[in-house]
Structure 1
Amino acid sequence: MSSALFTSGAAIDQAHDDDIWHVRWFPGKNMLATAGSDETVKIWDSQTGECLATLKDSDYAITSLDINAQGTRILTSSMDNKMRVWNIDDSLGGSSENSSPTLTIDAGPINAWRSRFLQTVSETGSKEMLASSTSSGTVKLWSTTKGREVRELNTSRPNFLYALAVSPDSTKVACASAGNHVYVFDTESGSLSGTFSGHSDNVRSVSFSADSSLLVTASDDKQIQLHDARYGSTVSTFSGHHSWVLSAEIHPDGKYIASGSLDTKVKIWDIGQRKCMETHSQHSQAVWGVAWQQSSDDVVTMRPKLASVGEDRSIHFYDPLLA
């Protein structure tokens, strides 16, 4: 009997006109969004490979892509220093080419290299906000109603923040700087709750587990590290890539990590056994992004697929076997 966990599935070649840097799944759906240096966001049906919508509002490369927990809004950051939010229901209805965003925020020079949705909960109810990373070692929080900065989280080190993540429960914000430092903030208090410095080079990617307890980081030092986001300790280090690790994400059930690298490989790691279980070689150039299919509040995805994107302009899917 085969011990393979995932098998190479469908692929979409030449999905964009240039490098694809980002990939995100819509929670509970067989849909995903991709973006990169060709200045567009594209929305795809993962089962048919059909492009359902194309979003474009500037002539600048997109440095960040996110989808809110409800799967109704897309957030981008671009090299024109602007964050844009699109309503997805509107985008998928009729002609969507050059569709206008519902909100545009000019964050100022390199104040939104990475951006993420953030859902805050208080006595008056929940409120959607945006978090963005800067070139000066701070994370800015923005109102989506007025489009204004409302708070700043300070790492106390004025370094460029390459990576940014918000925990699924929205209680934590993690960011990583040029160099080897990773910071975790408590969103309610704004205080710094943890700092990790186990990497020896720039950290390119940070991502939380589905239960918000673990944080995975990927670095130019060719390593992936797993951290306990609650207690501030590093749990495991995974080595096996031959160049920079550009993206890493934890499987929704918490058993595996997927990673993509400049070495063109996608790897699947077993967290419990602390070793690489599979290496996939479908890409011909750097793998910039990996993402697991996500559940939503209404739909549980029992056997999540994996998607990867890269410099070769292609999207590859990996179907679960034993996983």
Structure 2
Amino acid sequence: MGNLDIVKGGKSSSSSVRLDPRLSLTGHSRGINDVAWSPTAAYVATASDDKTLRLWSAETGDAFVEFRGHTNFVFSCKFNPQSNLLVSGSFDETVKIWDVRCGECVATLPAHSNPVTGVDFNRDGTCIVSGSYDGLVRIWDTATGECLKTVYAEGNPPVGGVRFSPNGRYVLSGTLDGRLRLYDLFGGHTNERHGVDRPQPRGGKCAKTYAGHANSRYCVFAAFLSSNPRRRCVVSGSEDGRVYLYDLQSRLARQTLEGHTDAVLAVDAHDSLELIGSGGMGNDRCVRFWAPSSSSRVDG
């Protein structure tokens, strides 16, 4: 993947570009566990240890809606592609679906037997994935709340994060045994053959496993870096303070990004740019952005 430039402490090592704070969103009474951007509007949702979620304007900082109903920490949240629904996972072991416009809970799924650590919508919003410390990854029908499929790794290691692939065919699951697993929900068939983004009866097998990062204590997030078709990667944080880039197909570690001084739990990749964001824990407290250097942008 070539060398990477680091935007560190608001200043790039290769230019004078600065990232400065524009807004401060204040309202939660306890720590914030997750932040989700609306795909269609300038809104941000937050999930907090105060047992609530909030919807904010990313332009003014105003709080529009407060979502109340969970009875324990809210750990994860995501918008559906249409941005009219928000899904949340909580330590109360449930998954809730919310109407963004009014803040009402439209469905509560008794999803797991341990805290829910990750939730996500698929590419058309018809399915939800949830992961939990009970070791299970479950796929849900958004409209009916029906559990369509349950998958798990050998030994049931706790699940620290889940994410649908951009094409909606796979689910990436990070577990506290130091592995990422890619589950094929369609059993080798293409989405187009079935015509809808729904898991198939033969699907659910682990297609690939990625290992090398450290993950045994915390919920470490992972993401797909797919903007460059010649070097698609799975990106993972790690408790050793590094960010790992695994080749999507070969499963080999293409690069290890070093710069944080504490465990890296939070990572995400831009949908259309070859850009990664990562956040370090308490002894680091930095958000860093990583992109190809000018010498590696044109080569594979």
* TM band (smaller chain): 0.7 to 0.9
Give how far 1:70 is off: 1.8
Match of 1:194 in 2: 208
Q: Which aligned pairs between 1:57-96 and structure 2 lie closer than 5 A?
A: 57-89=69-101, 91=102
Q: Deviations over 1:270-301 (max 9, x none)?
A: 245799xxxxxxxxxxxxxxxxxxxxxxxxxx
Is 2:113 the partner of 1:150? Answer: no
Q: Which amino acid aligns with 1:33?
A: A
Q: Does the aligned pair in 1 maintain the 2:75–2:89 contact within 8 Å?
A: yes
Q: Deviations over 1:10-37 (max 9, x none)?
A: 1315341110110011113211111110
Match of 2:251 in 1: 232
What's the C-alpha RMSD, in Å, of the aligned pairs? 2.5
Q: Which amino acid aligns with 1:244?
A: A
Q: Does the aligned pair in 2 maintain the 1:137–1:156 contact within 8 Å?
A: no
Q: Does the aligned pair in 2 maintain the 1:136–1:157 contact within 8 Å?
A: no
Q: Which amino acid aligns with 1:219?
A: S
Q: Which amino acid aligns with 1:251?
A: H
Q: Which aligned pairs between 1:1-323 and structure 2 lie closer than 5 A?
A: 3-89=15-101, 91=102, 99-110=103-114, 112-119=116-123, 128-189=126-187, 190-202=204-216, 204-209=220-225, 211=227, 213-262=232-281, 263-272=284-293
Unaligned runs of 5+ in 2: 1-11, 188-203
Distance 2:154 2:62 in 1: 46
Q: Structure 1 residues 195 and 5, CA, compared in 2 at 3 Å: closer, same or farther? A: farther
Residues 108-117 or 177-186, more deviating: 108-117
Distance 1:127 1:217 in 2: 24
**SS across alignment from 1:7:** coil
Q: Which amino acid aligns with 2:246?
A: H
Distance 1:70 1:214 in 2: 26
Stretches (4+) displaced over 6 A: none
**SS across alignment from 2:61:** coil
The higher-RCO structure (CA 8 Å, 6+ apart) is 1
Q: Which has the higher strand share?
A: 1
Distance 2:178 2:164 in 1: 19
What TM-score do the two structures reach when normalised by structure 2? 0.79
Q: Does the aligned pair in 2 maintain the 1:185–1:193 contact within 8 Å?
A: yes
Unaligned runs of 5+ in 1: 92-98, 120-125, 276-323
Match of 2:8 in 1: none
Aligned residues: 261
Q: Does the aligned pair in 2 maintain the 1:184–1:229 contact within 8 Å?
A: no
Give how far 1:48 is off: 0.9
Distance 2:264 2:125 in 1: 34
Q: Does the aligned pair in 1 maintain the 2:175–2:215 contact within 8 Å?
A: no
Q: Does the aligned pair in 2 maintain the 1:236–1:274 contact within 8 Å?
A: no
Give how far 1:162 is off: 0.8
Distance 2:264 2:23 in 1: 22
Q: Structure 1 residues 200 and 81, CA, compared in 2 at 3 Å: closer, same or farther? A: closer
Q: Structure 1 residues 128 and 178, CA, compared in 2 at 3 Å: closer, same or farther? A: same
